[in-house]
Amino acid sequence: GSKAPIQRLADVISGYFVPIVVGIAVLTFIIWIAFVQQGQFEPALVAAIAVLVIACPCALGLATPTSIMVGTGKAAENGILFKGGEHIERTHQIDTVVLDKTGTITNGKPVVTDFDGDEEALQLLASAEKGSEHPLADAIVNYAQTMNIKLLDTTDFEAVPGRGIKANISGKNLIVGNRQFMNDENVDIKNSEDIMTQFEKSGKTAMLIAINQEYRGMVAVADTVKDSTAAAIKQLHDLNIKVVMLTGDNE
């Protein structure tokens, strides 16, 4: 639906190139029939057509869109989607790549390693997470099911990117997320600092749980880094590309 800058340039050049080539072909026909093989139409026509075939501007007009289509298709086969030809053309200008953490840098199959809270907190947490597509949510729901926890219906579910979730379950307001989210919601989490720091030092993602603005527990989830991640990031570094991990997790 849109043209890359290089394709627009090729179209401009073709706009001048076509009449020039046609003009040269006509001139070749005239010279051939007048001077080379005088009065012989067929050889003059063959010479004119030869000029058109050899200098055909079609290749100039078709090469760019064809290469963009091939590039887009090959990239799609490898799970890379481009918004359009212009973005493919600009990839050589990339100096920074921003990566999501869960499922991109990590395997995206986390498991609950620790739970510090009561049964009600786990029930409300798993009930809120059952409708989420995030891998961390799957880990929590699976953990609750192994503990034979009955899941409840959730209303007024809200996901806050980079922070956590809010939900209303059986008339109780549930807040789950990181320190910043709890501070934003005015939940006192002083008693959780020591255990949360301990979880974080062991490479786990810790999420705080509050019910009706009161801190009720914490869940720790661990996800392993993909075997190919280090090599992929090294390749990007070798290309002088800065790599950034964008995550709502702690440092």
What residues are annotated to the active site? 100
CA of 195: how far to CAs of 88, 98, 121, 179, 200, in Å? Answer: 47, 30, 17, 13, 9
Please give the DSSP secondary-structure letter assigned to residue 248: S
Q: How far is 244 from 95, CA to CA, in rounded Å?
A: 11
Classified as helix, coil or strand, 207 is strand
Distance from CA of residue 143 to its chain's centroid? 29
Letter string b/e over residues 50-67, b meaning 16 or more CB atoms within 10 A of that residue's CB: ebbeebebeeebeebeee
| Nearest residue to 195 via CA among 214, 208, 177 | 208
Angle between helices 58-77 and 5-31 (to 10 degrees): 150
Q: Which of 231, 233, 223 is nearest to 108 (CA)?
A: 223
CA distance 124 to 36: 94
Helices (H), 105-175: 119-129, 135-146
